[in-house]
Structure 1
Amino acid sequence: PWPWPNMSIWRLMAWQLMGNGKKSCAETTRLVHDVLLTKDFNLKDISGFNAETAIRSMDRSEVTLASESKSILEQDGWKTDVNVDIQVPSCEKCSEGNGRVFTVHGLAYCPLVSVIWAVFMEAALKWFHLTPFKHIWKSPVMGKEQ
């Protein structure tokens, strides 16, 4: 295992140094301390592990979660899957004079009134300062308060 003291370190360093070269020393150290040395890490759990299969599984679960979260957002007053037209200026002269119109699909937003309503329902409202301050400005030239 030269130049390292044992085969475990040799294998870890060989893993870091092989491949595309994008694995940093910090990432390898983090792998050891944040993954391999944790109490709940069990080597038997990763027998037959394949990263591509794990990523595909995560992607499928994210699709399911996204569809569930849309309904949760809608229950909370959010508008989802909204298409918004925006005008983008261009160097070319346009007959309408406003540039080209592009549609941005699939946006989500919460109407401002819903946001204000939700904030006023929070327990933290008692800490908000709702009374406006009186703004006084003294003119350095005239010396009068305005």
Structure 2
Amino acid sequence: MCWQYSGSTTKSAAEMHRLTTFLDDDHYKREDARVFSIPREKKLIEDYLADTSNPFRADDGWQKSSVKIPLPKEKRKWHSEADAPQLEIEGVHHRSLTNIITSVFEDSASSTFHMTPFQQMWETPDGRNIEIFSEAYSSIAMREAYAEVNSLPRAADDNLEHVVASLMMWSDATHLASFGDASLWPFYLFFGNQSKYTRGKPTASACHHVAYIPTVCHVPLILPVH
């Protein structure tokens, strides 16, 4: 409380709570605070941000690949898609879906996930039963997927709960600068196990980036004539 009511007067109760979470963190060590140097820590952060692989660091599961796209040509046919000319797109940054699922389900946020889908019904005043479709985890597709997963053969020593990770993918063009036409196509992921009311909150950090597709310039394709 001495820290709260001394120095700056702009420290809110929320900032006070954030301080207590830092002090209670397992990574916090009192002996580190005794030799804490602001210039040194700022330098370490600057070095981290100056990393050429940032923000797509390999430590966060990011990979860089190229993608080959078969191209069509008017009035020309090939025996198979493999015979068609290909355009190679380089600089595609992407993450493994398995890594994202693992990290999210290991996070405390998954404690609010609905692991068992269910059916929602509304009994009207006149005695009718109407099924309500509101959340992904109460959808028919989710219930069918859950039944399918739990009907798969199990090993004799498998006593773990089998659940469905509902993946909801989106993509839209994003401008990278206030002036100019630089842009990317990001792919991002939400989990249908999480309530839509939580997913809609920016503070919930419910959006997970999966890939960034570079914009391809439109250039004429010249094919050899045989």
Query: Same fold by TM (over 0.5)?
Result: no
Q: Which has the higher strand share?
A: 2
Greater relative contact order (Cα < 8 A, sep 6+):
2
Q: Which has the higher helix share?
A: 1
TM-score by length of 1: 0.41
TM-score by length of 2: 0.28
**Which structure would you say has the larger Rg?**
1
